[in-house]
Amino acid sequence: MSKPLLSIGIIFKNEIRCLERCLKSLRPLRDALPCEVVMADTGAEDGSRAVAERYADMVFGFPWINDFAAARNAVMDRCSGTWYMTIDCDEWVDSNVEGYVKFLTTDKDFDFASVIIRNYNTVELEKGGGYSDFLAVRLLRLSSGIRYEGTIHEHWPYRGDLRTMLIRGGIFHHDGYVYQDPAKKAEKQTRNMELLRKQLEQEPDSLIILTQCVESGDNLPEQEDCLRRAMAGVEEKRPQWELFGPVIYRCAVRYALAKNLPELEEWIEKAEAMFPDSIFVRVEIAYFAFGFYWNKDDYAKSIDWGERYLQGVSDYETGRFNRSDILASSLNKTDSHSKLSIATVLAYGYLHEKQPEKCLRLMETFHGRELDAKQAGDCVRNLCNLHSHYGLDAAPLLSRLWAELNEPVPTKEKADQRRAGFLQVGAGMFEEPFIRAEGTEEDVLRHAYTAFLPLGDDCDLGIAARMLETEDAAALEALLGKAEKLEKLPGHALAHALRQGVRFPLPNRPLTIEQMDMLAGGIAQDKDELYRLVRQAGEKKLPDSAQGLGWARGLCLAALKVCPWKEIDGETGMSLSKAFGNVEKAYLPVCYADMALTGDGLLLLPPLHRFGFYCAQAFDALDAGDAAGYVRLLREGLAVCEGVKDMVEFLINHTPELKTPSEELSALAEQIQAILSKFPPENPAVAALKQSEAYQKVAHLIEGMEPYIAGGQTQ
């Protein structure tokens, strides 16, 4: 092999998860240039050595001595190339190697070259996950004689005359933080901090070591002390204060925000004054400052910092910043998720400050495929606000975002989450209380739900919007048939269709009982409409189809669950109760076998149906003039479904036949009360009397409106 132009050095231990990916990523570079790969094994026990030997030109053992610089230098000492490049096992080189080839084959007056290290923090990695970037010097001209320093966070020593060339398109991707085992992470922190403490003892004023202690010492008691010492060093303008100052203040602002320190605002202002052009101030500190002032309801300052943050990210993406800034540390909050998190809130801030045009212009820069579920919901809310309060044409943007967020990028699961966030917030614009409230607001120009009209058949909310704008029953039935998921349809839209006389469930679209319950629950947001439908179901001839009975049952159960029995008027409450009894009387024999409706078989029914069985019989008894039987059956129903206690109390209080008992019943009640008064409550004679038919006839008169329940059984 001829003398290599580039030597690539790697140290490894147990890296079986990612080592082969790293080595494979070097193939385009090795094909383009004369290269050698030299690797030091510091104690691998998981098969990593065998993988290394398949790809490397040289693999040698190096006993681990708790000194990263020593291991790196051992690799360099065995390299023969003109240039040396170092890469870690959990990194991989971007497939675009043109920048490396151009740099290494052009005679330039540089001894170093740097690349962007992209640290991913989510499993989506290159498909759009969150990440942070920092600039790292990873290439060195071997003839310079420079070697690594630092037992931990090893580096080539920084010199004032350091000239580093940024390799265009040169990105090392890194996923070590994503897959780091918590136990190993804690172990690594312990190891790193032990080494850093020793270094700090030797160099107590070193800003680079103090910065490393702050960044490595998360959740450790000494972190704040190191942070304040580092800030004091910046104010004293110790060596390299201009390089590390912005990073130290970035750490200070982040720490103060997490710990709610009183110095937070002071540190934000000081960072801005000392390092106004630093990309750390323009991006990360701007990010934190935006949230800080937003939570203080200082919208003017928050908007100012939000705009500066977005400009800072734009400048970073286009290279309009001093690249030496990110030699000191990684730059966070430049990923699309962070950017959209700020932008979606900033858009709302513009609305709060009555700047709708700015809001719309900002939102036009969004891409639906990059949103998460919350951001998708925020976009819907902002666009509906623009549409309803300002009359701006937000429909094209809403349509574009809907189409984009449904794209399976980076995965179908993420698209489903975005879709759910969009639909959840959008459905709120269709709720009857919201629509009613819009009618009382002077600045509402049109209902928010009309923003969804252009979505048409592509979205269930578009269908729902068209339904609310339609009065014809046949047209409404056709629209209902187009909905992708009826159970997700806004309840107010379905209620409107039913009010116009639409047959439901649709003849050609049967529903499961779960779907019926969800639909009835949606209608329950408008109790008056739900009560009307329940009364209608009870008054009309009940459907003879299982689907029709199931729907009537769903409406009744929804009404029972939301009805405030202690507050509802007597007429409405009695009509709901009677409708429930009528529906249960027809529904139960259709859906349950005879043996389930007798004796112990009743215990196999769902609780409300157990009560429904007795409620239907109770109203039959009342219709036959048997008031005592009516009360007894309600009490038996309560014994098997304690959740209906308020309803039973309501019925006992509001049933007219119970308010004026006959002289015969009143006399019987007086006689039994006289007998009971002669015995203590625990006497067996009392229990026996309460089981008698005579007592059951007047129990409601003796015990009052509170049904007597003990242990869930009638006594």
**Integer CA distances (angstroms), 402 to 454, 476, 661, in order:** 11, 24, 65
Q: Between 428 and 169, name the one with better pLDDT.
A: 428
* Span 176-196, average pLDDT: 81
Return the higher-pLDDT residue of 404 and 698: 404
Question: How would CATH label the architecture of 1-179?
Answer: Alpha-Beta Complex (3.90)
Give the Å distances, CA to CA, from 249 to 119, 219, 223.
21, 18, 14
* Contact (Cβ atoms closer than 8 angstroms) between residue 661 and residue 691: no
CB neighbour list of residue 69: distance below 8 Å, 6 or more residues apart: 147, 148, 149, 150, 151, 154
Neighbours of 107 (CB within 10 A): 5
Phi, psi of 499 (to 5 degrees): -65, -30
Quick: pLDDT tens for 599-643.
899 999 999 999 999 999 999 999 998 888 898 899 899 999 999
pLDDT tens, residue by residue, 42-65: 999 999 999 999 999 999 999 999
In sequence order, what are the beta bridge partners of 41? 12, 61
Q: Which residue has the tokens 């009857």?
A: 432
Q: Predicted confidence band at 126 (pLDDT cuts at 50, 70, 90)?
A: low
Task: Decide: 421 and 428 in contact? Cβ < 8 Å.
Answer: no
Mind listing the pLDDT tens digit for each residue in 532-543? 999 988 887 888
Is the CB of residue 625 less than 8 Å from the CB of residue 595? no
- 111, 140 in Cβ contact below 8 A? yes
Cα–Cα distance between 319 and 338 in angstroms, integer?
19
Query: Nearest 5°: phi and psi at 91?
Result: -115, 160
Question: How far apart (Å, rounded) are the C-alpha atoms in residues 570 and 562?
Answer: 16
The answer to which of 213-227, 513-527, 550-564, 693-707 has the lowest mean pLDDT is 693-707
pLDDT of residue 500: 95
pLDDT above 70 coverage of the chain, percent: 95
Token pair for 301:
């300052």
Which 3 state secondary structure label does DSSP give 114? strand
Could you read off the pLDDT of 235-250 as tens digits, one per residue? 999 999 999 999 999 9
**Number of CB atoms found within 10 A of residue 125's CB:** 18
DSSP codes, 463-505? HHHHHHT---HHHHHHHHHH-S-GGGS-HHHHHHHHHTT--SS
Residue type, 703: E
Tens digits of residue pLDDT in 360-374: 999 999 999 999 999
Q: Rounded mean pLDDT of 501-516? A: 93
Q: Chain-wide mean pLDDT for the chain?
A: 90
Q: Say whether pLDDT at 575 is over 50.
A: yes
Determine the Cα–Cα distance for residues 525 and 552; give it in Å rounded to an integer.
17
Can you tell me the distance from the alpha carbon of 32 to that of 593, in angstroms, rounded to the nearest whole number?
78
Alpha-carbon span 69 to 577, nearest angstrom? 81
CA–CA separation, 162 vs 110, rounded Å? 9
pLDDT at 158: 62
Amino acid at the residue 178: V
Cα–Cα distance list, 341 to 75, 157, 348, 379, 586 (Å): 43, 38, 11, 11, 54
Query: Nearest-CA neighbor of 167 among 235, 239, 93, 227?
Result: 93
Q: Residue 713 — very low, low, confident or very high, per pLDDT cuts 50/70/90?
A: very low
Complete DSSP assignment for 184-223: HHHHHHHHHHHHHHHHHHH-TT-HHHHHHHHHH-TT-THH
CB atoms within 10 A of CB 706: 11
Indicate the pairing of strand 164-174 with strand 112-120: parallel
Does residue 160 carry a pLDDT above 60?
no
What confidence category does residue 348 fall into, taking pLDDT thresholds of 50, 70 and 90?
Answer: very high
Q: State the average pLDDT over residues 148-154.
A: 84
Q: Where are the domains of the chain?
A: 1-179, 480-591, 661-714
